[in-house]
Amino acid sequence: MVEVIGLSKQFKSVKAVDNISFKVSQGEIVGLLGENGAGKTTTLRMLATMLKPTSGTVNINNYDVVNDAHMVRGEIGILFGGEVGLYDRLTARENIKYFAQLNGVSNQKAEEQINKLVKAFNMEEYIDRRVGKFSRGMKQKVAIARSIVHDPKIMLFDEPTAGLDISASKIIHDFILHCKEENKAIVFSSHMMNEVEKLCDRVVIINKGKIVEDGKIDTLKEKYNNQDMESIFIKLIGGDSQNE
C-alpha cells in the first residue's frame, strides 16, 4: 500500500506540492493527473525517495520514504517516460542483471527472474545482444524487465508512454494491467485521458500543487453530469500551466 500524508515540497519561493494526501491499495491503479507544473513528477520523485519532502510523509508498505529510504527502494519499481536509461554497451541481460544487483538480488535469483521475464516479454532473440541498436519497443521491454526484476510490490509510472508509437505504448499498457493482476499498488501519471480511462480505477487530480479531486472515474463522471474525463479535467484545472 501507498499512503501519502500531508506531503509538501518547497523549492525556494515555489511550493511545488502543497499538503496532499491520498492512498493506493494493492491491486489498484490510481492515476495522478495534472498539467505540466502541477506537481505530479515532484510527487512521484518523493514517493521514489529521489526527493526529500519538505513536510509530511509517505508510507510504502509501512516503510517511511525518509527514515526507511533503503527499504522503500526494495519495495518499488519505477518506469519513467522519455529516455529509458539503458547502457548501450551492455547486453539486455547485463542491463537487467545490473539493476537486480543494485536492489540486492542474488545472482541465482536474478538469473531465475531474468529467464522468466525473457519468456514473458518474448525477448529470447535479443536478450544477449547489446542494446545500443535496439528498436524503441525492444528497449522498452528491457526497461520494463529492469523495473520489476526484484519483484516490487509498488509500481510508479511517470508518463511511461511519452514519445512511443502505438505498438510500444501497447506493451506498456499490457504491462500495467499485468501489474494490477499481480496485486501490485500502481501510481500512474499521464497526460493522455484515453490511457487514464482505459487503465485507472481511480484518479487524483492535482492543480498548482493541491489536490482538487480524488475519486473513481465512474463516480466523477456521475458527479460532473457524465462528462468525459478530459472535460472534467479541464473544468477542474482551469487551463493554467507552468513549468514543473
pLDDT, tens digit (0-9, with 9 covering 90-100), for 50-97: 999 999 999 999 999 999 999 999 999 998 876 668 999 999 999 999
pLDDT, tens digit (0-9, with 9 covering 90-100), for 155-193: 999 888 877 788 878 888 998 999 999 999 999 998 888
pLDDT, tens digit (0-9, with 9 covering 90-100), for 32-41: 999 888 999 9
With a threshold of 0.85, does the pTM exceed it? yes
Count Cβ neighbours within 10 Å for each residue of 171-185 and write b for 16 or more, e otherwise.
bbeebbeebbeeebb
pLDDT, tens digit (0-9, with 9 covering 90-100), for 22-35: 999 999 999 999 98
CATH number of 2-237: 3.40.50.300
Distance CA(128)–CA(112), nearest Å, equals 15
pLDDT for position 79: 85
Residue 225 has pLDDT above 60, yes or no: yes
Residue 130 and residue 88 in contact, taking contact as beta carbons nearer than 8 Å: yes
Give one DSSP letter per residue of 66-114, joined into a string.
TTTHHHHHHHEEEEESS-----TTSBHHHHHHHHHHHTT--HHHHHHHH
Q: Please list the residues that pair with 205 across neighbouring strands.
A: 33, 213
Mean pLDDT of the chain: 91
- Higher local confidence (pLDDT), 102 or 130: 130
Query: What percentage of the chain exceeds 70 in pLDDT?
Result: 96
Rounded to an integer, the average pLDDT of 102-113 is 92
pLDDT for position 242: 42
Closest CA to 208 of 4, 20, 58, 6: 20
In the chain, how long is the greatest CA-to-CA distance? Answer: 55
pLDDT, tens digit (0-9, with 9 covering 90-100), for 193-215: 889 999 999 999 999 999 999 99
Helices and strands per DSSP (H, E), number in the chain: 9, 10
- The domain locations on the chain are 2-237
Q: Please list the residues that pair with 155 across neighbouring strands.
A: 77, 186
Burial of 46 (0-12, 13-18, 19+ CB in 10 A): buried
Residue 238 has pLDDT above 80, yes or no: no
Q: Which three cell numbers stand for residue 184?
A: 501490485
Distance CA(177)–CA(28), nearest Å, equals 10
Distance CA(116)–CA(118), nearest Å, equals 6
